[in-house]
Structure 1
Amino acid sequence: MLVYRDLLTDDELLSDSFPYKEIENGMLWEVDGKWVTKSPIEVDIAANPSAKGSDEEETVEDKAVKVVDIVDSFLLQEKTSFDKTQFRAYMEQYADKLASKLHGKKQDELKQRMDGAIKYIESRLEKMQIFVGESMHENTSPVFAYCKEGATDPTFLYLAYALTETEA
């Protein structure tokens, strides 16, 4: 299995279990998430019912919860939303940090194409949730989620050049 890690923080953000489609000149990966029900967990506390004079087995049950598969699988943490001015400033600083980790052709492509990716995300910003990796490091790559018109499951946007592929 391939795991895609944040180039700046090494947080796991995605795996090849979630197919992606390249958009915006290959700068963004679009990934479909799904609401799933996380099964309840039964925990046998190993009590001896006969010792208490009871025939019932004692267990602890958690209730099932609905989660978004990608958020749950990679322990993504929600970040405070931005207005457009804050978003633009944040992304420009982030792009500089990311560019410093890239070399040659990739660095040039990032500089040429990043503005298009920023505009694409910015046009949907009001509908977006922003997530970061588990470490919540200040330099972590943002992951954007929104629901397309008429959809109930979220679509995630990843900055392709922010990901590095490793085998798990």
Structure 2
Amino acid sequence: MIIYTDIVSGDEIVADTFNLVPNKEFDILWECDCRKYLKRANEDFQLEGANPSAEEAEEEGGEGEATMVHDIEDQFRLVWLKAEEGAKPSKEDYKAHLKPYLKKLHKNAASKFAKADDPTAAEDAWKKKAAGAMKKILANWDNYDVLMGQSTDGEAMHVLIDFREDGVTPYATVWADGLKEVKV
């Protein structure tokens, strides 16, 4: 299994269990479909042979409490920056975050440029794709749910979740060069 961690914070962001595919328009962005569901308080999987009498006492207090979560959020302990709680950054704040963040991604992608047949052309193409991807994200900003890694490092990647054209299927968007592969 491969887990992808944020190059800035080291937080786990996604794994190869999610079908990561390049964005059709800007291949420096990866997308993966995810699910959104209600999760009850203290709801975790239960191991066989666990002591049910000890667990029943814990469950009684939280019955009926549920929150909406994304599976990617739940599995990788991402933090949902909810707009209704005032945690989602404004479009201007996100744009201000993106400029230094893209410089970090550019530095991370530099080794790929060096391996290309024409390093200068590869770097120029990356810059053009990054600018286009940034413009696309900012144009669609109001539609995104925004998540961050567990550490909530303000300089790290923001995972962006929107819905496919069907209006039902949520999908996450991440910057490909902002991820580091870790084999486990």
TM band (smaller chain): 0.7 to 0.9
State percent identity of aligned pairs: 25
Taking the aligned partners of 1:115 and 1:134, their CA distance within structure 2 comes to: 27
Gaps in structure 2 of 5+ consecutive residues: 47-51, 82-86, 114-121
Contact 1:44 / 1:60 at 8 angstroms: preserved in 2? Answer: no
Secondary structure at the residue paired with 1:136? coil
Question: What displacement does 1:82 show?
Answer: 3.5
1:59-94 Cα deviation digits (max 9, x unpaired): 442547453211100111123334433332221121
Contact 2:37 / 2:69 at 8 angstroms: preserved in 1? Answer: yes
Question: What displacement does 1:140 show?
Answer: 1.2
User: Map of 1:49-60 to 2, 5 A cutoff?
Assistant: 59-60=57-58
Alignment partner for residue 86 of structure 1, among 66, 86, 93? 93
1:29-48 Cα deviation digits (max 9, x unpaired): 111111245574685229xx
Amino acid at match of 2:110: H
**Aligned pair in 2 of structure 1 residues 147, 95: CA closer, same or farther (>3 Å)?**
same
Larger strand fraction of residues: 1
**Number of paired residues?**
157
Taking the aligned partners of 2:96 and 2:30, their CA distance within structure 1 comes to: 22
Larger helix fraction of residues: 2
Secondary structure at the residue paired with 1:103? helix
Taking the aligned partners of 1:21 and 1:100, their CA distance within structure 2 comes to: 22
**Aligned pair in 2 of structure 1 residues 82, 37: CA closer, same or farther (>3 Å)?**
closer
Contact 1:8 / 1:98 at 8 angstroms: preserved in 2? Answer: no
**Corresponding position: 1:34 with 2:50:** no
Contact 2:97 / 2:155 at 8 angstroms: preserved in 1? Answer: no
Question: What displacement does 1:150 show?
Answer: 4.1
Taking the aligned partners of 1:86 and 1:141, their CA distance within structure 2 comes to: 14
**Corresponding position: 1:100 with 2:101:** no
- Between Structure 1 and Structure 2, whose CA radius of gyration is higher? 1
Secondary structure at the residue paired with 1:158? strand
Amino acid at match of 1:100: K
1:7-47 Cα deviation digits (max 9, x unpaired): 1111110001110221133111111111245574685229x
Match of 2:71 in 1: 69
Q: RMSD value over aligned CA atoms?
A: 2.6
Amino acid at match of 1:96: K
